[in-house]
Amino acid sequence: MSINHIMRPLHKAVLGLLAPFIVTSSVMAAENTLEAAPNVEVTPYIVNGSNASVTDFPSMASLFIDRIDYDGLYSVGSYCGGTILDPTHILTAAHCIYGDKEAQLFTVVIPQLQDTSQFPYGNVEKVRVSEVYYRDDYSNSLNQLLPNDVAILKLESALNIDSVNDVVNPPLNDDYRMGVHDFVAVGHGDTRSGFDGTTLLQKANLNYVDNATCASAFSAGSNLTDKQICFIGDYSKATKLYGGTCQGDSGGPVYWKDGADYKQVGITSFGPEICGGNRKVTSVFTEIYDYKNWIVSVVAGNETAKFVSTDAKRSAYVNRPISFGSSSGGSISFALLGMLMLVTGMRKVA
């Protein structure tokens, strides 16, 4: 089984506009593509899900591209999910932001968002990302199954959340892997492959899948590690799919229901080619228990940021001349920019 469903949004291959060029970013050419899968569409959504309330999942966060203050452009939906570690730190997947200058410069975080259609005109709080952290041992390769797919985003200012106690509270051990437990994935991603069915937050109940069974579902399964945890949802006769995550749910959480408490155990990373279409596994997550020391170190300020975003860098990026190819030169035309906006999910404020 191949892996065409990693969960990262907006970055869609644009073919046929100016052959032989391929544009893979939200507006212009992305400076990073996933190894061995340059045209993979990456976004996050819940298959066979139901409406979720952010009241039940107060650690939920949503990531958007926001260039409104610079050239009026913004993403029409969240491109990844995340969870609130504390008022200034967001936990997400490394593949959501690794090597992507657009995302690194212009990501804003909206906490506890119920409906993505509220951005940018609704009464929602948004805070810009200022620093990006991911591990040195992260590999942005599908052939290696995205090992160590974890990142932390530091914000320019603190989120106005009700209580710090409402944020991520992972289990103290991984005993949740033993026996049958209740798990639920949450996100704003596609409701099936290639179909953005709702703007409302979704949830899906999941069942734990052991790593041996999970590895057998993928052609590169031998690269699955014990720092990744797998799940599958129930089968629906109506959709003929198994419950799980999909494009656009990347970086979002899977929770273990420990009595009355939801405790995050994983970060949405990837899944099979057709969302919900594999009878062995539908969702693979980075298991956060294995990274708790690194997470604590980042939040404590003991790690060096991989990327720092500033107002000067954002302005320089927006105003830079764009050329395609080493010999063609020239700047991007307004006509082409308009076409790219249409096909890549970006809009301009009226």
Q: Is the peptide bond before 120 cis (omega within 30 degrees of 0)?
A: yes
CA–CA dist 298, 51 (Å, integer): 33
Both ends of the chain: CA-CA distance in Å? 44
Return all residues near 166 (Cβ < 8 A) that are at least 6 apart. Answer: 58, 59, 84
Which ranges of 96-202 would DSSP assign to H, the alpha helix?
101-106
Pull the structure tokens for residue 195.
């179909």
Q: Is residue 59 within 8 Å of 84, Cβ to Cβ?
A: yes
Active site residue ranges: 250
Cβ density class 272-294: b for 16+ within 10 Å, e for less: bebbbbbebbbbbbbbbbbbeeb
Residue 99 burial class via C-beta count within 10 angstroms: exposed 0-12, middle 13-18, buried 19 and up: middle
Cβ density class 57-82: b for 16+ within 10 Å, e for less: bbbbbbbbbbbbeebebbbbbbbbbb
Which amino acid is it at 224? L
DSSP calls for 212-234: HHHHTTSTTGGG--TTEEEEE--
Name the strand (E) or helix (H) holding 346: strand 346-348
